[in-house]
Amino acid sequence: MTGKPEEYAKKRDFLRTPEPGLDEGKAGDRPVFVIQKHDARRLHYDFRLEVEGVLRSWAVPKGPSTDPKEKRLAVPTEDHTLGYKDFEGVIPEGEYGAGVVLVWDCGPYRNLREGEMSMAESIEDGKVEVWLEGRKLRGGYALIRTGKGEKARWLLIKMRDEEADAARDILKTDPLSAISGRGIEEIRRASEG
Ligand code: MN
């Protein structure tokens, strides 16, 4: 399957938003993850995993944690085009997701259930386990679906391994972009010219 995230395209007017169109972005040797800090109506973090040509996506209101005891709500959102992994900028007022987007972390990942289930199957199964090799986040992370039907919800949880650190508050200590070193306000100002 080569992803054509139609819902992604439907929600956006590419004449108005600087977000990437459907044909941007190429797959590399290894699948990647990206976590975007998104200062929209409410600040949140978007967790995305490259799976079969698209970025499967969850919005995480409180962002990721390095503490295995923290279970962070992760709300599934529409698949994003692969080119989105490099997107940093300002979505204009009136457009879907209006606000500032910053690439908070990115890097390759491994499917820890490889051999048992593909990534697409893991998501279907409601149990995703990946090893992140980010610039900030490293080690195992699980996305777990609990409950059924309308009550189903996903949780993002740090797995217990040598990269876990309950004492760290990484969202506070490392707030800037992993690719440009910029903060939210700097990106906002740059777009105002
Ligand atoms: Mn978002």
Is 10 strand, coil or helix?
helix
Residue with tokens 């980010």: 134
Cα 48 to ligand 1 centre (Å) = 10
Q: E-assigned strands of the chain?
A: 32-39, 43-51, 54-60, 71-81, 89-91, 99-111, 127-133, 138-146, 153-158
Cα 12 to ligand 1 centre (Å) = 13
pLDDT in tens, the chain (193 residues): 456 799 999 999 999 999 999 877 888 899 999 999 999 999 999 999 999 999 999 999 999 999 999 999 999 999 999 999 999 999 999 999 999 999 999 999 999 999 999 999 999 999 999 999 999 999 999 999 999 888 899 999 999 999 999 999 999 999 999 999 999 999 999 988 7
Distance CA 54, CA 56 (A): 6
Which residues have CB less than 5 Å away from ligand 1 (the ion)?
38, 46
Distance CA 163, CA 80 (A): 28
**Cβ neighbours, 10 Å, residue 109:** 21
Contacting residues for 136 by C-beta, under 8 A, at least 6 apart: 104, 105, 170, 174, 178
Cα 116 to ligand 1 centre (Å) = 31
Cα 77 to ligand 1 centre (Å) = 8
Structure token digits, residue 1: 């399957």
Biggest CA-to-CA distance, the chain: 50
User: Is the separation of the CB atoms in 127 and 142 below 8 Å?
Assistant: yes
Distance CA 34, CA 111 (A): 15
Cα 94 to ligand 1 centre (Å) = 15
Cα 33 to ligand 1 centre (Å) = 15
Structure token digits, residue 35: 């976590």
Cα 3 to ligand 1 centre (Å) = 20
Residue with tokens 């698209």: 54
Cα 165 to ligand 1 centre (Å) = 26
Q: In this predicted structure, what is the pLDDT of residue 3?
A: 61
Spatial CA neighbour of 10 closest among 90, 70, 80: 80
